[in-house]
Each structure stands twice: as C-alpha cells, then as structure tokens.
Chains A and B, each alone.
Chain A
Amino acid sequence: MSSNTIQVLYFAGARDATGIPSETLSIPSGSSEIAVPAFIQTLITQHPKLSKVFSTAILAINNQYVDHEGRLLEGGESVTVKVGDEVAVIPPVSGG
C-alpha cells in the first residue's frame, strides 16, 4: 500500500453494498488524516448503499474498534483515519 492512501475492507453486508471486498482511497492532497465521521460520509458518498449498512456496522481502524465518532470509549479521545491506516467496515452477521 502506498503511503498516502487508506485501505478500506468491506465485510459481509458491506461487501454486498459496495460490490467489492476492499479498495484503496486517497486522502485529499495536503492532509494526512481525516475525522472518522467525515470518512464515513466519504464512503457513503462513494457507495450510497452503505448508508443503511452504517446504521449497525462497526468500524475498526488497524483492527481496533472505534465508534462512529472515532472514539474507543465514551468520553474518550477521538482518533482520526490517517494515511497508511487500514479501515474495516463490519456489519453484524446474524444468521446461523
């Protein structure tokens, strides 16, 4: 992965919504990070069907859960998505 991009992985229903298992996104030039809510909005703009997926899907940055505000815990500090990060979009699977 090149150093000015973000790798996005789509699992389960997110893969259905986007039609792809993963993609590489570039961050607008001049910046090296993006806030999590803005990043989610970028993904939804790119793949409108993700909007429904994000009503339940969780987000993991480099295999660490963050909420849709980018926080690890309530009241905690927000993290941002940075170049070189890997972001996973994980909707709950309910079947069995």
Chain B
Amino acid sequence: MSGDEMDVAALQAEIEQLRTENAALKASAASGAASLLSIPFTVGRDDSGATTELTNAEIARFSRQLLMPEIGVQGQLKLRNISVLVVGCGGLGAPAIMYLAAAGIGRLGVVDYDVVEASNLQRQIIHDEPKVGMRKSESAKATVNRLSSFCDCTAYDMLLDSSNAMDLIKPWDIVVDATDNVATRYLLNDACVLLNKPLVSGSALRMDGQLTVYNYDGGPCYRCIFPKPPPAETESQYTSITFDFRICSTVPGIIGCLQALEVVKIAADIGAKFSQKLLIFDATFGSFRTIKLRGRSPACAVCGDEPTITELIDYVQFCGSGPSDKTPTQRILEEVDRITVEELGEFRKAAHSHLLLDVREKVQYDICSLPHSLNIPLAELEGRLPDVRAAARHGPNTSGTLPIYVICRRGNDSQLAVQMLQKTGFGQAKDVIGGLETWARDMDSSFPTY
C-alpha cells in the first residue's frame, strides 16, 4: 500500500513538473511568435516624412485588402498617408465617409452645416436616432471614431462658400463632392481646379444616380461638361418652387459607395476609372451605363486655355439658387391676399363656409391633410379650374361663391396658386401663410410634418 502511495506521489510530482514546463514553453512560443509578428514589413520614413510601416494592429485590421495585390502593403500605406475631404454628410457622404474610414484612409475631413433630422435617417446611415438634432459633421465624426481608431477625423460645421472654400480645401489631397445642390457643386469644382485637386463627384435624386471623377489625369472638370447651371425653378411661372426632397434610400448609398471606391483607387494609385466618364445609375430599370465624356475643354471658363474664372465667384448668383435645402419663405402676395393659420382655425371652428384648396402633390396629400379639403396639385391647377369653380359654388341658386383658402406644405406654392386663381376669375382666393407646417406648429401639434 505504501509503495503505491509513493508511486502516486512521484507521478503527481512528475505531472506538476510537466505542467510547469508546458506553461513555460507556451509562454516562450507566444512571445517568440509575437516578436516575429512585430517585425515591420518596411521600416523607416520616406523623404516626405510619411510613415512607411504598418503596425501589427494595422496588419490585423486591414488584412483582407493587404492580401489583394491591387492594394497590398504599399497601397495600404498610401491610404493611411492620404487626406480626403468629404463635403456633405448626407445620403452620399454617409456611406462614402464610413467606407473611407473603414478602408484605412488616414485623415478625413467631414463638412456639413446642417443638423440631423428624423427624415434624414432613411438614407443617411452615418447618423442614427439618438443623433437627431446633433450637428451632422459632429455626428459623422463620432461614427468614424467608433468605426476606426486608425482614422484621424476632423469635423467642419460650416457652410462652404467663396470666402472659405479655398482655405478649407487647400490642405487636402482628394475632395469628395457629396453635396445636394448646384451652387456648391460649381463652387467645389472651381476650387478644385484652382487648387489642382481631384474631385470625386456623386449625385442622386429619386431613382437616379450619377458619378464622375473631375479634374483628374487630364480629364474634364464639371464646367467642361455642364458649362451652364440649370435654369432656376422660380423663373417659370406657376411651377412649384419647392425643393425636390424625393429620394430613394439606397440610391445615394450606392453612389456614395462608388465614390469611396474611386477615392481608394486614386489614393492607392490604382487610378480612377470614372475620369472622363459619367456613370448613370437608373434604379428604376436597375441599369448602370457608362458614358464616355469629352476631355478637358480648351474653352472651359475655369480649366480652359484662357480661363475667365481665376478666383471663386458668387455661386448663388451664378446658379440663381443657394445651397440650402430649406425652402426659403417667399413673399409673393400682399398682406390682404393672405390669412394666418389662426384665422383659418377660427373659420373652421365657426363652421364658416369656405373651400380649402390643398395644392400639394397627391403623394404629399396622402401623407396628411386637413379634413374637407380639396386636393388639386399646383401643376394641374390651370387645367382643373372648372373643378375649383364647381367646388366653390354656393347657395341655393349656386350663383354665390365661397371664399377660397389655398394651402400647401410651407406656404410658397399656395401663393403661386392664389396668383393664378386671381388672374382667372377667383378674386376671392387667399393663401394660408406658412402652410401646413405652420398649422402643425401653431394650431395642432398632433398634425404630422414631413
């Protein structure tokens, strides 16, 4: 028995010793592996002072694209050492910024002057519900910081204009146009030509997307292709002056992703394939089409042989429209031709007979409307005046006419409608100041806004 006990004790001691040796070997192997991994691919700094080595953490983080010969270590270092300015943190900027940060772009600048609204979140996936009300640039930066500790992101809460664009853009290597308006597109184009920066330009509206890389590799600039801005909408009489807010959520997402891809290709010296080409994405038919554009135009006002634009100009004046998507409040009618939402509320409460004409598009009317209103969109109004006449008939002999109050979303189109009505025999037509948004704000907080 005692002999057995001795054997057990000896075996236990041996097991203990083997365990200790095993642990020591494991530790040694781990540190050996770590020291092997810590040998950098390349060491030192190049002449420009840019760092030319990847850390272990970077190797682990970007391994999937390090394995691609198109990028590899050299490409990844280029991404890290390049700086990209994304103008616009909306539908295009959201995926563009996130993919650029995720892919390892070393320095990102994100520019926007606006705040996050609930209606943005359907497509601007860089923002989320807790960020409603936050500055968009700060929200974008916060997302970048969460996404990657390898990206140095700077937020610029500012509206770009001729006075600040050159100074802002100058230090950056590549500029991404992720804006939503014509004036800022011409501003960015001219600044990028004057500062010799590639401009990765995307745009999207409704079911249409477009992508081109301008001012790169001998290709054209935006003005070479589109020398003239579109005519300002307000020029045409009785045409809606409401900013076009219609946008399918994934369309800017797709274009924004392609913008990020073009930036990565420029940064990694793979070359942009949409220089001198226009990509058209038609989401309705699911088609991508590439149009071969012209080269740089020698007659171009900014990048041509004898440029007439040698410094930034007034782009709001040039385009006849500004950068803000907040529809400016127009004042077309005189005071006497208008009523307030309070007055409308009184008339409705007192059951004072009137015709309430809602001139918004049907899709908007379907979202929300005031009871007992007649919907005739502004664009159809001229052809449907008999309907207005019929609805405004009043009294037993139907010879009298009801007062007509015209309402729209924000009180601009309703004024155009009243102008048209007054010229076509409806002198009694008046417009409701501030439209349904003001109604919701001042009269009925349960009325939806969109």
**Interface, chain A (partner B; CB < 8 A):** 11-12, 21, 52, 55-56, 58, 60, 63-65, 67, 72-74, 88, 90-96
Contact = CB atoms under 8 A, between A and B. Distances in A.
Nearest to A58: B225
A55 B230 contact: yes
B182 A96 contact: no
A92 B280 contact: no
A58 B226 contact: yes
Given A64-B292, A73-B294, A95-B203, A90 B278 contact: yes
Contacts of B180: 94-96
B203 A96 contact: yes
Given A11-B208, A65-B225, A93 B203 contact: yes
Given A56-B229, A58-B225, A95 B247 contact: yes
B294 A96 contact: no
Contacts of A21: 284-285
20 contacts: A52-B231, A55-B228, A58-B226, A58-B278, A58-B291, A64-B292, A65-B225, A65-B292, A73-B297, A92-B210, A92-B226, A93-B203, A93-B205, A94-B230, A95-B206, A96-B90, A96-B92, A96-B178, A96-B203, A96-B204
Given A90-B278, A94-B182, A63 B289 contact: yes
Contacts of B255: 96
Given A74-B297, A96-B90, A96-B252, A88 B205 contact: no
A86 B385 CA distance: 41
Interface residues on B, range: 35 or more
A21 B298 CA distance: 34
Given A65-B225, A95-B247, A55 B289 contact: no
A87 to B, nearest CB: 11
Given A63-B289, A92-B182, 10 more contacts: A11-B280, A52-B236, A56-B230, A58-B225, A60-B291, A67-B294, A88-B280, A92-B226, A96-B88, A96-B178
Nearest to B252: A96
Contact of B209 (A64, A65, A93): A93
B290 A95 contact: no
B230 A91 contact: yes
A12 B282 CA distance: 8
A73 B225 CA distance: 11
A32 to B, nearest CB: 24
Interface string B170-207: 00000000111110010000000000000000111110
B293 interface: yes
A94 B203 contact: yes
Contacts of A12: 205-206, 208
B244 interface: yes
Contacts of A63: 289-292
Contact of B293 (A65, A93, A95): A65
Contacts of A65: 225, 278, 291-294
Contacts of A94: 180-182, 185, 203, 205, 230
A72 B285 CA distance: 28
Nearest to B220: A65
A74 B230 contact: no
Contacts of A52: 231, 236
Find the residue from A12, A93, A96 having the highest chain B CB count within 10 A: A96
A92 B285 contact: no
Contacts of A55: 228, 230-231
B295 interface: yes
Given A56-B229, A88-B291, A96 B91 contact: yes
B230 to A, nearest CB: 5
B226 to A, nearest CB: 5
Nearest to B90: A96
Contacts of B295: 73
B299 A74 contact: yes
Contacts of B90: 96
B297 to A, nearest CB: 6
Find the residue from A56, A63, A94 having the highest chain B CB count within 10 A: A94
A96 B252 CA distance: 6
